[in-house]
Amino acid sequence: MPFKHTHTIISITRGSLLFNILHLMAIPESQETIIPLIDSSETQPNTEPDDDTHLDHTLSRFENFLRLFGFCQYSFWSFSLSWLAFLLVGVALPMILIEIFQCANCEKYQIKSFELEILVCESLVAAVSLLCISHNLRKYGVRKFLFVDRYHGHMTQFHDEYIRKINGFFHLLLVWLLPCFLLKTAREITRVASVPQDSRWKSVAVLLAFLVSWMYSNVIFLSGSCLFNLVCNLQVIHFDNYGKLLEMDIDVSAYIEEHIRLTHYLSKISHRFRIYLLLQLLLVTASQFVVLLETTENSKLINLTNGGDFVVSSIVELVGIIICLQAAAKISRRAQGLASVTSRWHAMVTCSSGDPSQMGVDNDTENLETSYPAGSLPINYSETDLESIDYVPVPTNTQLASYMSMYHKREAFVSYMQSNPGGVTIYGWRTDRALINTIFFVELSLVLFVLGKTITFTTK
């Protein structure tokens, strides 16, 4: 008897071992379909460091550009060097050049009062940009300032989009700055060639110094506008992705929480840039009125040579305002458009769910589904027809309560979205299309007036 029991135990053990071996051999065939679902957290660390390194490299290159023009004032020495460079290159150097390049009877080619007024306007708008942007960068850092830090903005999901938007910052700056630089270069070459000088090398040195100073100041001014555009475009990514979240079968409270997070970020952006936007708008408008008064009161001949800087300065300032307004309009339009997106989603979900009186409940998914298609019952039928028709169960009170509960949740969600449109605000004033169109056409009218007063052709 003991041998029989031992033999039986050995047989069972061998059978279990063989079963386990066969089972282990069959696992790889089924693992191919479940790896993306179960082991996604294990494979993510293998791909995330590469993407994170690429994003870190892009942010480092972006920060180096900001540091080059004095925006990264993280310490006392960087703060001092930044403003010292701005005062020397952006203010003192052009003032010295205006005094050196002045001649007695050259009002046909340059007017000293015009040059000084243009220098003051360009220096003020650049100083506001440098002051406001450096303050925010010193307070938050580059990552938190752009909302791409590791704890906000779902960074791992949008690596490529973040990198593309940051690279778009340099592209936008180059596209708008290059034509203005070519126009400024043509104007300076014309003026230097017209004004008599003792040495040709002196004229070339003055020309290069003028262009370097102009480029430095206007890069600082336009970088502030492009940076505001970048911050708004990075949030546009999440607003565009919000419609995809509605396709997921999750609780309505999760959608509300995500919308609260997005509107909270918009409030932060509005708070950080409100002083910058307001000061830039006031300074640009004031400079345009100054140009208007100068060109109107001056009885002397104003042409493209002596008043060409008015044209270049007005165009650059208008470009900076357009970049800011376009970014504010884009993010506000995305935020306000979510109300229509959620309304459409609510309507589609409600209509696709059908009539609750013809609903059944699946025990596995606990979702309402149509158990019998509408209009399939014949109008005239006999007893045999009644026998052939399946019985349609009437939903219970629990099923109807669940259906109505989900409906009222979606209805409350749509009402919440309609009453909280969101968008960029400046001290409570929402930057909607009406306000943006008004500001744009006022500034454009002033610039066109300046162009009409400076681009003149005389015939004798």
Instruction: Tell me the range of 172-176, 296-300, 419-423 where mean pLDDT is highest.
Output: 172-176
Between 298 and 49, the more confident residue is 298
Instruction: Kindly report, residue by residue over 111-121, the tens digit of the pLDDT.
Output: 777 788 889 99
Residues 175, 184 contacting (CB under 8 angstroms): no
Which helix H or strand E contains 359, and what residues bound it?
Answer: strand 359-361
pLDDT band of 354, cuts 50, 70, 90: low
Specify the pLDDT at position 216.
Answer: 95
Instruction: Kindly report, residue by residue over 371-410, the tens digit of the pLDDT.
Output: 334 344 343 434 444 344 444 444 455 545 555 677 788 8
Q: Token digits for 435?
A: 């306000």
The yes-or-no verdict on residue 194 having pLDDT over 80 is no
- The CA distance from 79 to 70, in Å, is 8
Percent residues over pLDDT 70 in the chain = 67
CA distances from 52 to 45, 163, 230 (A): 10, 10, 19
pLDDT band of 351, cuts 50, 70, 90: confident
- The CA distance from 457 to 441, in Å, is 26
- The CA distance from 410 to 350, in Å, is 9
- Name the β-bridge partners of 429: 426
- The CA distance from 300 to 228, in Å, is 41
The yes-or-no verdict on residue 83 having pLDDT over 90 is yes
Q: Which phi and psi angles does 360 have, rounded to 5°?
A: -125, 165
Residues 315, 284 contacting (CB under 8 angstroms): no
pTM for the predicted model, two decimal places: 0.75
Instruction: Kindly report, residue by residue over 91-138, the tens digit of the pLDDT.
Output: 999 999 888 777 666 666 677 777 888 899 999 999 999 999 999 999
Q: Which phi and psi angles does 198 have, rounded to 5°?
A: -70, -40
Specify the pLDDT at position 318.
Answer: 87
Residues 102, 112 contacting (CB under 8 angstroms): yes
Q: Which phi and psi angles does 270 have, rounded to 5°?
A: -60, -40
- The CA distance from 62 to 32, in Å, is 41
Q: Are strands 368-370 and 359-361 parallel, antiparallel or unpaired?
A: antiparallel
Query: Which residue ranges make up each domain of the chain?
Result: 57-324+435-454
Residues 335, 239 contacting (CB under 8 angstroms): yes
Stated length of the chain = 460
Instruction: Kindly report, residue by residue over 22-36, the tens digit of the pLDDT.
Output: 443 443 433 333 333
Average pLDDT of every residue of the chain = 75
Instruction: Tell me the range of 381-395, 429-443, 444-458 where mean pLDDT is highest.
Output: 429-443
pLDDT band of 249, cuts 50, 70, 90: confident
HSE, CB side, 13 Å, CA atoms: give it for residue 429.
12
